[in-house]
Amino acid sequence: MHPAFSVIFLTTLIGAAQGMFMALVTGQVYGLANLLAPQDSVSFYAMGSLLALILLGGGLVAAVFHLGKPSYFLTRAWRGVTQWRTSWLSRELIALPAFMFLVFLYAVVHYFGWTQPWFVIKGVIPVDASLVIGILGVIMSVVLFVCTAMIYASLRFLQEWHSPLTVANFIFFGLASGFTMAAAFSAWAGVDLVGFYGTWAVVFTVIAAITRGFSMLRNSRIKHKSTMKTALGIRHTKITQRSMGFMGGSFNTREYFHGASNGTVQTVRLFFLLNVFAVPVALLAASNALESAYLPMLAFVVQYVGLVAERWYFFTEGKHPQNLYYQTVG
């Protein structure tokens, strides 16, 4: 498939924002349970939520540029929501603004200090409006992860994507980048949570490496159902495509094939394996040992660049059956 950078930035930006918000709520729960030192509502939770909203807004901007006519977004976007019964894209269009609204409420409650406890669970965990909104936001974040991933995992004819591993990869990549961002944000804010978030970021990065490794292994062993024989209905032992039927390019050749050489694809694969998994883990480990405030920030930047490359590679993995016809010029 053709890797559209608008979709690449959409999925990676909102994934990092979802992970970042889930990290904030995790830190709050630990703080309320006296497992971590409580943090300031305005400078940490409100500002952290604002950062997540900025990333979500950037993802929306990228999505608009993916449209054939971006000017139609405001006037016709509502039509996409009407197909929510059958379309994962429609469900994503519902889940994304709902999640953004909860993140906004979470930021507002912390900014204005509306955190007086409503009741206390077993005399340990005080429950307030921010905690309730945060938990709802975490649930909606998981729903959004599933909706986004299922846009691709639900496509049966793209066998490389049609797997539960696609959903797992979207979730764990988002958690890894989000918790790495939380560690970077803690370092920037001077909050003593770099080790906490960095440890969780390493855990999620390792899990993401395992699930992505399994998906790449699975994809390398796929026996495609569509072949030249099945496409043409001819049982000849040797069938070779000599022409796509026309001399110039078309929508088919642009949108359903990446057009990159095998060497380029393999280089991108090596690049993302290093920058999504190995380098960020090393930088986060070094930041704990050296107590550096800059290494977590560098770890997030490196990992995000790697995630952009990973998502590019994810799209090139998808082999559309129509390419049996349209990728050879006679």
pLDDT at residue 324 is higher than 90: no
| Average pLDDT value over all residues in the chain | 89
Other CB atoms within 10 A of residue 38 CB = 12
Query: Which one-letter amino acid corresponds to residue 265?
Result: V
254, part of any domain: yes
Query: How far is it, in rounded angstroms, from Cα 324 to Cα 241?
Result: 8
Q: pLDDT, tens digit, for every residue of 54-91?
A: 999 999 888 777 665 655 555 666 677 888 888 999 99
Give me the pLDDT at residue 72, please. Answer: 57
157, part of any domain: yes
Query: How far is it, in rounded angstroms, from Cα 88 to Cα 160?
Result: 18
Domain with 150, as residue range(s), is: 5-222+241-325
pLDDT at residue 6 is higher than 80: yes
Mean pLDDT confidence for 110-137: 89
Give me the pLDDT at residue 206, please. Answer: 97
The answer to which of 26-35, 69-78, 89-98, 197-206 has the lowest mean pLDDT is 69-78
228, part of any domain: no
Cut 0.85: pTM above it: yes
Instruction: Give the total number of structural domains in the chain.
Output: 1
Mean pLDDT confidence for 81-107: 92
203, part of any domain: yes
104, part of any domain: yes
251, part of any domain: yes
140 vs 330, higher pLDDT = 140
Mean pLDDT confidence for 287-315: 93
pLDDT at residue 329 is higher than 60: no
Tally of residues, the chain: 330
71 vs 34, higher pLDDT = 34
77, part of any domain: yes
Encoding tokens for residue 73? Answer: 């977004």
282, part of any domain: yes
**The domain spanning residue 61 has which CATH number?**
1.20.1630.10
Question: Which DSSP string corresponds to 193-227?
Answer: THHHHHHHHHHHHHHHHHHHHHHHHHHHT---S--
The answer to which of 53-57, 66-70, 165-169, 312-316 has the lowest mean pLDDT is 66-70
Give me the pLDDT at residue 69, please. Answer: 60
Q: pLDDT, tens digit, for every residue of 217-264?
A: 999 998 887 777 777 777 777 777 766 666 666 777 777 788 788 899
